[in-house]
Structure 1
């Protein structure tokens, strides 16, 4: 569900950004950034917390606690409002551009009068940045790419923002008298990476009552359209939410109609026409007599069209119709299939919870096994050492087996520009699972990036390539690699590719998953948790895996422990050689 924590974390992040723009001291900026991450990761919703309770959260000192407590009471922070007033809105807009930090945004405004992404783009094309310190040719190229990325993102948000909001709204509407059924549809139900608006479908014989309750919800800040069958509102996050109400018997037809991508819906309507039928949100009708044929369930709508029920995550017209007609739809992996999580962090490096807290939370999820993979020493800011890792291993062994949970002591290694990773093979052989990820040098040429990933995949101790494309949705584009060559290397070496479930990553993306699967690559759907609450993000990774057409057999952390451990040990036993 949507939490106050996320709003407060965003407020503190903005405060840190504005401090950076106005030349605030670096240590103070970091303090606010750390507090934002800690509050965002805090397990309990902080609504109603007082200053004393807020100070119990790691990295939240007296001054920040007072600001947050005031924000919780009044919805505003005077110091933040004062900072906002000192900075032109255009400069704040510039900070949304990937690759442009707050200080450089302010410098561009002061030197060139740049006050928007559009004016920055024009200035770059006009050569106005030439000669400015810190703005070379490569920087200009990165800024143009960042502006394009920002433009593509538009007003879209990632799943982790849209899903809790939709679930809150659906829960509230289900409680309204006269509401028979209610659920979200559209791109959210298809688990797309980003969501432009939220589609809610409900059934009721009293639509006016339901619509009145909808526009009165606390999340609503603007009513765009208010009707008996469709009402559109805007929420505090800026998202448009459309509610459509149909009669109770039309539930199946409405969910089918409002879930599929446009191309999928065109295909199903074409099939209906060929069968002398008409398909709408109210049902499947005889094209001649207008007699209603079916409408109550999605299954009967698809069946009458000569198709099996098609899972929502596949409804994109990328081959699912043909697969359905041929009886070849995949039996998609589900969250219930997952037996464990193989990429998680603790407070030993950049996590926000102790090993014991993370293990207890994993046990509560009913996992059979759980991998702890704090960062290796090449991610220098985490200050990891071999001694720390070995001490953690001892504690992991002590906790192993508690609550029936098999613990795997692992590490997330950093892949350097040449494809090397932290620690030599004789050290890495002592870990149960090794995840290797790109954390820097994101703009290498394609040939070097490809070679980098291939070398990591062929390392005898690397089991999983973590968040392989290193993208951050809306903030950083994927690294440029010859993915087919990378996929071939992973298939050849027995290295799994991660589907990182963090909502701003969802990496690999679905289209790359489908390509990799054709080479026989295996995958790991991991949460990359840095706090207890992050473990639940796994569902977003599963949605992405489904969009990639994966079955449980394709995903190594759905396997029984003996099969998983055999897979993890296979590379070392085979002694895969380094190029």
Structure 2
């Protein structure tokens, strides 16, 4: 069910890894990685492009375009199949460990004969890596943490991938059955916007469930029917994801939606209230316990109201105080995507983005933003080859574009690199020329806790740093967060007037919901940014907003919901200390 772009992106990344394992040309591996990113972020469906169209994608030359065309035509990429055959399956398994890497995986296989994750864990626990070059105690600990991350992820997929599959399935069911769109939806942890999803729960209201269930198992992505009944049908897709469909009578739909959205802990709280009121709550409705007479069921709103509660947004339903807040009338007005007036962290093809400055600005304008910041990488991220001259030339191009967009204020910014001592790329007199600066950690992820804490706090104290980007640096299932005293960092952000980013990229969602809750207690403010590297990525803010809602954020706590005048004052206040 993944878009062809995403399938090809994964294959090209795998090929780049396999090239690295076998000691292949590093430049060639890097070229495949760049092509993978370009294809993954390309706005058009690549399966509809001819050879010429494929070669027009940035970083995709003739050789790579031919391999992509071969896969789209046959479902296979010969060179990838050959590499897979040439490299032991166990080594390919090792490179899935987030903290390991292809070269170290091959070294372990060649020098110690390790060819599985289990064998690697046993070797570390048996101290068999002692003396192996590049595998000190800290590396071993990082590998074990990577194995833990991989095992935690299991068969779970990212929120964005699950959303795509669920929305496609719901649309297909609506078309096949003609059911009311409001009565054909997804529920479960996906509706609660959890960052990873194990399986997808779907809910349909229908008097006759048989046609709906038959249409469901007939959908093109179905590879296996796990169970087929009138109340519940489960299928496994061609990608191995389980989808569970339940059909309820229309009169019970609201109760069913509340029940199957969960979480389990939230449902226990609501059932406790029902019991205290002499009621019984189930997926079929809210009933009087003695008479069995139904009190509420058709909509979630009437079910919650009958319990003495306001409707509780799905993103809050995790038993983290939302029921008590509802009973007290203290539920927050959560930030929504419609509240966002701008995006403060985006990239163009001047550094590692895939789209031009002009295209990114045009897409931002089409989203109805009031302001929009371009924040390409600064020089210390050396692979991006930024220079003073390049960034200043971009500033002139951006200023020239401003005349075309009367309703969109264009901001010239940069994403600075927070060095190991907390220093950033440019001196203050140069930073003063930017409208705003985001500062992020891009290296030295394994520094000790005290050092990581110091570098982040020092960055917060820089008068030109307005936002700390992806504060923990984690990538879901790929890279663990840095070890830092985040409460000290949150307090420093509140003290210095520095915003914490909720990075909306589906692989990051950083800060996550639990850390947002902690940062709020320190009085910090936040920025929900896309970190877009292509025009299609600007829409990632939906996932950042979902994460922010799970952290109970209101519009007043998110600086890019503010008017330009208020945001401008916020930025200016900090610079006064320079």
Q: Mind listing any 5+ residue stretches in structure 2 that lack a counterpart?
A: none
Is residue 2:441 matched to residue 1:438?
Answer: yes
In 2: Cα distance, 1:368 partner to 1:237 partner? 40
TM-aligned CA deviation for residue 446 of structure 1: 1.1
In 2: Cα distance, 1:461 partner to 1:48 partner? 45
Superposed CA offset, 1:168-225 (max 9, x none) = 0111111122533211111111111111111111112232221122122222222222
Superposed CA offset, 1:287-324 (max 9, x none) = 12222221111000001011110000000001101111
Q: Is the 8 A contact 1:460 1:572 kept in 2?
A: yes
**Where does residue 384 of structure 1 map in the other structure?**
386
SS at match of 2:298: coil
Q: Is the 8 A contact 2:15 2:32 kept in 1?
A: yes
TM-aligned CA deviation for residue 2 of structure 1: 4.9
TM-aligned CA deviation for residue 574 of structure 1: 3.4
**Where does residue 357 of structure 1 map in the other structure?**
359
Counterpart mapping for 1:41-80 below 5 A: 41-80=41-80
Number of aligned residue pairs: give it: 575
Alignment match of 2:265 (pick from 263, 266, 270): 263
In 2: Cα distance, 1:214 partner to 1:522 partner? 44
Counterpart mapping for 1:533-548 below 5 A: 533-548=536-551
Between stretches 139-148 and 102-111, larger displacement belongs to 102-111
Alignment match of 1:368 (pick from 367, 370, 377): 370
In 2: Cα distance, 1:276 partner to 1:116 partner? 56
**Where does residue 280 of structure 1 map in the other structure?**
282
SS at match of 1:176: helix
**Where does residue 185 of structure 2 map in the other structure?**
183
TM-aligned CA deviation for residue 111 of structure 1: 2.8
TM-aligned CA deviation for residue 401 of structure 1: 4.5
**Where does residue 303 of structure 1 map in the other structure?**
305
**Where does residue 576 of structure 2 map in the other structure?**
573
TM-aligned CA deviation for residue 473 of structure 1: 0.6
**Where does residue 164 of structure 1 map in the other structure?**
164
Alignment match of 2:227 (pick from 225, 228, 234): 225
TM-aligned CA deviation for residue 89 of structure 1: 2.3
**Where does residue 418 of structure 1 map in the other structure?**
421
**Where does residue 15 of structure 2 map in the other structure?**
15
In 2: Cα distance, 1:234 partner to 1:119 partner? 31
**Where does residue 479 of structure 1 map in the other structure?**
482
Let me know the Cα RMSD of the aligned residues: 1.3
In 2: Cα distance, 1:431 partner to 1:320 partner? 41
Alignment match of 2:238 (pick from 229, 236, 239): 236
Q: Is the 8 A contact 2:493 2:524 kept in 1?
A: yes
Superposed CA offset, 1:31-87 (max 9, x none) = 211111110011111122221111111111112111111211221122222222222
Q: Is the 8 A contact 2:177 2:215 kept in 1?
A: no
In 1: Cα distance, 2:291 partner to 2:126 partner? 64
SS at match of 2:176: coil
**Where does residue 119 of structure 1 map in the other structure?**
119
Q: Is the 8 A contact 1:229 1:244 kept in 2?
A: yes
In 1: Cα distance, 2:498 partner to 2:345 partner? 15
TM-aligned CA deviation for residue 470 of structure 1: 0.6
Q: What's the TM-score once normalised by structure 2's chain length?
A: 0.97
Superposed CA offset, 1:346-385 (max 9, x none) = 0111100110000000001011110000011111111101
**Where does residue 459 of structure 1 map in the other structure?**
462
Q: What's the TM-score once normalised by structure 1's chain length?
A: 0.97
TM-aligned CA deviation for residue 114 of structure 1: 1.9
Between stretches 427-436 and 108-117, larger displacement belongs to 108-117
**Where does residue 525 of structure 1 map in the other structure?**
528
**Where does residue 504 of structure 1 map in the other structure?**
507
TM-aligned CA deviation for residue 238 of structure 1: 2.4
Between stretches 224-233 and 366-375, larger displacement belongs to 224-233
Is residue 2:450 matched to residue 1:447?
Answer: yes
TM-aligned CA deviation for residue 434 of structure 1: 0.4
In 2: Cα distance, 1:503 partner to 1:392 partner? 28
Q: Is the 8 A contact 1:5 1:39 kept in 2?
A: yes
TM-aligned CA deviation for residue 335 of structure 1: 0.2
